[in-house]
Each structure stands twice: as C-alpha cells, then as structure tokens.
Amino acid sequence: MPLDLTDHFSRFHNGDPDRLHFAAHSHHYWPDVAFEAQAQAWNDAARHADGKWSFLFDTVIPASKRHIAELLGLSDPSTVVFATNTHELLVRVLSCLPADRPQRLLASEGEFHSFTRQTRRLAEDGSIELTTIPVAPIDSFTDRLGEAARRVKPDLVYVSHVYFDSGHRLASPADVADAVPDPDTFILIDGYHAFMAMPVDLGAVENRLFYLAGGYKYAMAGEGACFMHCPPGYGERPRNTGWYAAFSALEKAQGGVAYAEDASRFMGATFDPTAVYRLKAVCEWLAEQGLTPADIHAHALALQRRFVDGLSTLDHPVLAGDRLVVPIADQHRGNFLTFESPAAADTQVKLTGANIITDVRGDRLRVGFGLYQTEAYVDRLLDRLTSLAPLIRFAMPSNSSIVRPVSPDP
C-alpha cells in the first residue's frame, strides 16, 4: 500500500500549501517531531543549566549514536562522532595525514563542493597532490579507482556513495575498500546522499573506512547534525583538534596532547546540540512507524517511476525520460532524478516561478523524492506542469548537442 505520511509533515506543508517541493535531495522537509525535539532541547537547557553538557553526553548523544550505528550496520556506536558540518570533519581527517611532504589524495571528479573547494585551495599551495578520475561510466568506477590507487599510492581516497550531481550510486562501500590495496591508506566515503535514503551496511568494512553523512537531507533533521564513522587505528591524533576531543581521553600519558581512543578523538569544541535532538526524534519516529531506509528508498523509486511515466505525455524538452543522466530502468541510483540539458537552469527558474521547487547544478536539473510526498503529490506536480507547459516550454537550439560532464560546477 502506498505510503501517506502527509499529516506527519504538517508544519512544512502548511508553511506554503501551494508549494510543490521536489528538492528532497537538498532541503528535505522535517517531520513535526523535529519541532517538538527543538523545544525539548530548549527545555532541557533550562532544566539542567550548567549541567546541560553532562546530560547531553550521558543521554541524547549516546542514543543518537546508537540509532546511527543501527542504520549503518555498525557494531559499536562509539565509532560515531558528531560535528556541525561535514567540512569540519573532512578538514580534521586531512590533518591526520603526513605533514612532512605534500599529501597525496585520490578522488572522483564528481565530489561535492565541501571537498572540491578545500582540496583545490590546498593544491594551489602545493600542500596536497590531488588526482581525480571520472565518475562515468559508473560500472567501471571501482576498477578505475583501484588502478589509480596502485599508481598514485594515495594517503587518502575520497569518493561518494551516491553522486550529488547525477544520482549515480556505487555498488557498495566494500567494493571501494577492496579496490584500495594499501591498508594504511585512509578511505573516506561521503554518504550524505545515501544515509537514510537507502540501506547502508558498513559491517564488513567498519574497521577499514570512514563514512561521512548528516541529518540535513534524507535524515530529515535539518542542518547541524553531521557525523562520521571513524575506524579504529586511523587518525589517532588529528592536528586539527578541539577541547572536546579530550573529554574521554585515558588518564595515562600519551606523550603530548591526550586523545580519546574512540571517535571522540575527532571532536571539535562547543556546538549547538539541538540538531542532534532533532535527529534522535526522527529516528525514533521512523522506528515507531516501522519504516527502514529500504522502505524510504522503495517509496522514492516508486514516485520517480510515476513521475517519469507522467512526463511521457508532457513532451517537455528538458523534463523527459531521454534526458535522464541515470535512466529510470537503472536501479543503482539515489532518491533523486537528474535531467541534463543546456536549458536546465532556465527551466529551474521557470519552475520556481510556478512554486515548483527543484534545483540545478550546471546543466543538470535535479528533482528529489522523499517521505513527505505521496502519489497524489506527484500527480499534482504533473498537473501543474501540464497547465504551465506553454509558459515553461521554449525552443531548443538546433545545435544543442549534449555533452555529459562528470564533475560538478565550480
């Protein structure tokens, strides 16, 4: 039976009843329990005052780590650490790499801006040597990654589980681990477009790789609740460190600045914990509903198929099945669809004017699907697109041959 959780997202739906929001991959609606969690964070601060942090580290944070560990198939929740954003955690991992020579990094050409901007800047100074490989064709990606790893001998391999500018999905994190021959090489997987969007099981590789994600997208918890799974034995003493990293450090001397042995060695300093409250509340709500990431993914794929089937009668030059970067028949994709066209940006502007919310990356228009949408909601989108067809349609240039880039816009 199709899911209908509309009532659980009433605050966002009622915020603008006319809005058709299809940017679940970017700015996901939050369920109402997140609002209640926000208030609970305030009330707990008032109740505990100076004792707030002890309460948080004894109750809210451990509970949230347990939820994440369960969702990722991790055996030990203490391998999870929180931060305000993924960039903070990325920079902390980079600070673990050798400091006496340029650090060698290997990545794809399709990584998100938090990685590409930072590493390009470091490469300008010669602090790192960055090697990138194309994402497409995705079927040969891990083979090409392995070849590059043997050639480059990187200190860090950084790839995405699901690529933000296309929806391409890697077969599994284990395939990435198998492709990197040197056990001393750090492996960091950006899982932001996979966490809570689809099943992810790190159990077989939990001692081999880092996994980075957060609550802003499919976890429906908003910004500020990012986290990283940290395998033991990798990055034991980050140079970029905060005083929270010493909270659970062992009493014995470590020959300098002390660090905890669990993931809290990657902690920074004081942060706003309300996002962790929201993440905890969403995880508990999903459990109460009996919903798993597999259910969420199946729901999104079903809505995608309904949408693409409906587009067949629209005859739009951009929103069309043959414009999809990842074809609808390919199940190895994320919870959004990516349409490629030189007119993607112009189309997105026109859609926004009609209160249809999507987003664009270069010449790629992204349409995302999530739990707050239903089949009827998709049908409303198709009806509005049909009624607006004369306004959003435009003549395509006769020489508009499509070039498929494999890297995001700078």
Could you report the per-residue pLDDT of 377-387, keeping only the tens digit for each? 999 999 999 98
Domains of the chain (ranges; CATH) run 6-30+292-392 (3.90.1150.10), 34-284 (3.40.640.10)
Find the Cα–Cα–Cα–Cα dihedral 94, 96, 99, 103, rounded to 10°: -40
What pLDDT, on the 0 to 100 scale, is given for residue 332?
87
Cα of 59 vs its chain's centroid, Å: 26
What's the CA gap between 136 and 199, in Å, rounded? Answer: 23
The CA distances from residue 392 to 21, 317, 340, 382, 388, in Å, are 17, 10, 16, 13, 6
Residue numbers in the chain where pLDDT is lower than 50: 251-252, 394-410
Among 235, 241, 191, 236, residue whose Cα is nearest residue 217: 191
The pLDDT, as a whole number, for residue 339 is: 97
Q: Which two tokens mark 109?
A: 């050409």
Phi and psi dihedrals of 229, rounded to 5?
-85, 130
pLDDT in tens, 382-403: 999 998 876 555 434 434 443 3
* Secondary structure (H, E, C), 91-154: HHHHCCCCCCCCEEEEEECCCCHHHHHHHHHHHHCCCEEEEEECCCCHHHHHHHHHHHHHHHCC
Q: How is residue 402 written in tokens? A: 């499509």
pLDDT for residue 404: 36
Output the DSSP codes for 267-333.
--S---THHHHHHHHHHHHHHHHT--HHHHHHHHHHHHHHHHHHHTTT--SSSSGGGBSS-TT--SB
Tokens, residue 238: 């980050």
Do 172 and 142 contact (CB within 8 A), yes or no? no
pTM: 0.92
Predicted local distance difference test score (pLDDT) of residue 392: 56
Alpha helix (H) residue ranges in 173-292 = 173-179, 274-289
pLDDT at 352: 96
SS3 label, residue 166: coil
